[in-house]
Amino acid sequence: MNPSAALSAFQARLKSTQILCTTDDMAPFLCDWRKRYFGNALAVLLPSNTPELAEIVQICTEFGIALVPQGGNTGLCGGATPDQSGTQVVVSLKRMNQIRGLDIDNQTITVEAGCVLQTIQEAAAAQDLLFPLSLGAEGSCCIGGNLATNAGGTNVLRYGNARDLCLGLEVVTAQGKIWNGLRGLRKDNTGYDLRDLFIGSEGTLGIITAAVLKLYPMPVCQWTSLVATPSIPATIQLLNLFKQKATTLLTGFEMMTAESLALTEKQFPQMRNPLGENPPFTVLIEFSDHESEAHARNLVESILAEALELGIASNAIIASSIAQANTFWQMREHITLAQAQEGANLKHDITIPLSALDNFISATDAVLRAKYPQVRIINFGHLGDGNLHYNVAAPVGTDSAIFNQANETSVHDIIYGMVEKFGGSISAEHGIGQLKLHDLRAHKGAIAHDLMATIKTALDPLNILNPNKVLPTNAN
Ligand SMILES: Cc1cc2nc3c(=O)[nH]c(=O)nc-3n(C[C@H](O)[C@H](O)[C@H](O)COP(=O)(O)OP(=O)(O)OC[C@H]3O[C@@H](n4cnc5c(N)ncnc54)[C@H](O)[C@@H]3O)c2cc1C
């Protein structure tokens, strides 16, 4: 490894404005969104196009320098934060943010990795088309990061996750070569699917520089409602009622517990639940119709009436304007922000088969409360996908940093043990990063873990792409 020679080579290749080296300039790139991981770096590099990025990787290969790709830096597993050695470079894709083209006939858009998700949504909307990936960080996360983490979000129920929305990729390999797989094909059975290998690999197998994404017809209207439910089984019955009656018109189904909304209201007093006192569960339902407003409204009203009659819902309110629908969504999205403001908490982004969800929650709550009686359990999530954010906050009046440091491993072990028992996954949508690095082997099993390590070694034999993320360095 020769960091000073590498730095000279970067300086010879890039403009001075594309290399950040001072502590102040680099600071925003060296810690994660949750302020949980803090790293150091040799430099932060800001390439403006794919050939430039390929040359950066070639220099890194030559001088044995590890790279950490970074998009919007909103990831929740520390995947975009360098280690503390000060020898790695952060490669920010933010300046590679062009929309290369929008194909109306093919219903695709080709974008560079640094495009902010919201910008892509807006570009599609300008052509009356929908790019359905949507999540709380959409104003700052980048599509390269979304694909690298196979992001989920609020529309997975209808449109799938980032992987399902991507047809083609352009990638810079660990050798600094450019793989052009920017095809807008919906069928392409030509051997191993390289695209799917890079999606979800969190920058450990290649650097995504551009993508071809699927677009959909824009719905003519959306109806958003908040529904109070008494229990998890009732909430799942409500989901299935909507699936049965509304089929593909159901585009969002988000569950929030009374505890998670109480915390949101504490941190953001303007975020009051329009259903009144928080019921045990508040469900946000979004319904997108391609026919007419009247058709949608009649259908939503009739399904909600049936739910009330069946006793699986106790109250419901349909947003009367786009502004009100936005406030419903803000309530949901502010839970993550409220938790961050309240103090660090122990997050678990998990999936459980819906049929096991109720038993999972009761059993896990019981084991946790037996060991930590005063702990606060903040549950919410994309219930339509079986995705639960099962987060644990220190008891009120306790220093959260001290509590988390002392109990993190034990709390993780309890929850991940229960996830295994109930047939779930320890990462639904946020990835592995460094947060779950040491939990992966036990969860995936030795064979799957070793196959992953074999792929990593084959594609990145020098281990220069985001080392010690997803797989521990010594697993290769
Ligand atoms: C308020 C809030 C709400 C969120 N809600 C959701 C949600 O609903 N669903 C969800 O899935 N996530 C959610 N997230 C997590 C986060 O926004 C997503 O993981 C997002 O996809 C990360 O994109 P990014 O550009 O910020 O990536 P970064 O944080 O910059 O990077 C994430 C990982 O991808 C790698 N990477 C980044 N760019 C590239 C690239 N071009 N090529 C290769 N590797 C790359 C990084 O090395 C790192 O490992 C939320 C985060 C916040 C803060």
The string of pLDDT tens digits covering residues 117-158 is 999 999 999 999 999 999 989 999 999 999 999 999 889 999
Is residue 33 pLDDT above 70, yes or no?
Answer: yes
**Distance (Å) from CA 203 to ligand 1 centroid:** 11
Rounded to the nearest 10°, the torsion over CA 56, 58, 64, 65 is 10
Which of the listed residues 138, 149, 156 should we mutate to test ligand 1's pocket, taking the one with most ligand atoms within 8 A of CB?
A: 149
Q: What percent of the chain has pLDDT over 90?
A: 90
**Distance (Å) from CA 378 to ligand 1 centroid:** 22
Is residue 108 pLDDT above 90, yes or no?
Answer: yes
∠395-401-402 over CA atoms, to 5°?
Answer: 75
Q: 172: burial class by Cβ within 10 Å (0-12, 13-18, 19+)? A: buried
40 contacts 89 by C-beta, under 8 angstroms: no
> Rounded distance, CA 451 to CA 222, Å?
44
Cα dist from 28 to 72, 113, 212, 338, 416, whole Å: 11, 19, 29, 21, 32
> Rounded distance, CA 46 to CA 142, Å?
14
Q: Which two tokens stand for residue 162?
A: 């980032």
Ligand 1 binding pocket (C-beta < 6 A) is: 33, 68-76, 79-80, 93, 113, 135-137, 141-142, 144-146, 148-149, 151-153, 202-203, 207-208, 336, 429-430, 433, 466, 469
Write down all domains in the chain, each with its CATH number in brackets: 3-93 (3.30.43.10), 99-217 (3.30.465.10), 221-337 (3.30.70.2190), 343-421 (3.30.70.2740)
Is residue 270 pLDDT above 90, yes or no?
Answer: yes
- Residue with CA nearest ligand 1 atom 9: 153
**Distance (Å) from CA 76 to ligand 1 centroid:** 7
For 399, residues 6+ apart whose C-beta sits below 8 A from its C-beta are: none
For the chain, what is the HEC assignment?
CCHHHHHHHHHHHCCHHHEECCHHHHHHHCECCCCCCECCCCEEECCCCHHHHHHHHHHHHHHCCCEEEECCCCCCCCCCCCCCCCCCEEEECCCCCCEEEEECCCCEEEEECCCEHHHHHHHHHCCCEECCCCCCCCCCCEHHHHHHCCCCCCCHHHHCCHHHHEEEEEEECCCCCEEEECCCCCCCCCCCCHHHHHCCCCCCCCEEEEEEEECEECCCEEEEEEEEECCHHHHHHHHHHHHHHHHHHEEEEEEEEHHHHHHHHHHCCCCCCCCCCCCCEEEEEEEEECCCHHHHHHHHHHHHHHHHHHCCCCEEEECCCHHHHHHHHHHHHHHHHHHHHHCCCECCEEECCHHHHHHHHHHHHHHHHHHCCCCEEEEEECHHHCEEEEEEECCCCCCHHHHHHHHHHHHHHHHHHHHHHCCCECCCCCCCCCCCCCCHHHHHCHHHHHHHHHHHHHHCCCCCECCCCCCCHHHC
Atom of ligand 1 nearest to the CA of 431: 19
Smallest CA-to-CA distance from 345 within 440, 263, 431, 441 is with 263
**Distance (Å) from CA 336 to ligand 1 centroid:** 14
Q: 417: pLDDT confidence band, cut at 50, 70 and 90?
A: very high
The string of pLDDT tens digits covering residues 47-77 is 999 999 999 999 999 999 999 999 999 999 9
Query: In residues, how long is the chain?
Result: 476
Q: What is the pLDDT of residue 58?
A: 98
More confident residue, 345 or 100: 100
Q: What is the pLDDT of residue 154?
A: 87
> Rounded distance, CA 357 to CA 232, Å?
8
Mean pLDDT over all residues of the chain? 95
Is residue 292 pLDDT above 90, yes or no?
Answer: no
**Distance (Å) from CA 290 to ligand 1 centroid:** 31
Which of the listed residues 68, 141, 284 should we mutate to test ligand 1's pocket, taking the one with most ligand atoms within 8 A of CB?
A: 141
* 451-462: average pLDDT: 97
Q: Is 202 left (phi over 0), alpha (psi -120 to 50) or beta?
A: left
Q: What is the pLDDT of residue 340?
A: 87
Q: 11: burial class by Cβ within 10 Å (0-12, 13-18, 19+)? A: middle
The string of pLDDT tens digits covering residues 86-95 is 999 999 999 9
Q: What is the pLDDT of residue 474?
A: 74
**Distance (Å) from CA 370 to ligand 1 centroid:** 35
User: φ, ψ for residue 255 (rounded to 5)?
Assistant: -110, 135
* 356-382: average pLDDT: 95
Q: What is the pLDDT of residue 187?
A: 94
395 contacts 39 by C-beta, under 8 angstroms: no
Residue 227, number of CB atoms within 10 A of its CB: 27
Atom of ligand 1 nearest to the CA of 429: 11
For 386, residues 6+ apart whose C-beta sits below 8 A from its C-beta are: 351, 352, 353, 354, 357, 424, 428
Beta partners for 392?
A: 346, 377
Strands 315-318 and 250-257: unpaired
Q: What is the pLDDT of residue 475?
A: 58
Which of the listed residues 88, 120, 131, 135 should we mutate to test ligand 1's pocket, taking the one with most ligand atoms within 8 A of CB?
A: 135
Is residue 296 pLDDT above 90, yes or no?
Answer: no
Beta partners for 207?
A: 172
- Residue with CA nearest ligand 1 atom 52: 137
> Rounded distance, CA 409 to CA 405, Å?
8
Atom of ligand 1 nearest to the CA of 74: 26
228 contacts 282 by C-beta, under 8 angstroms: yes
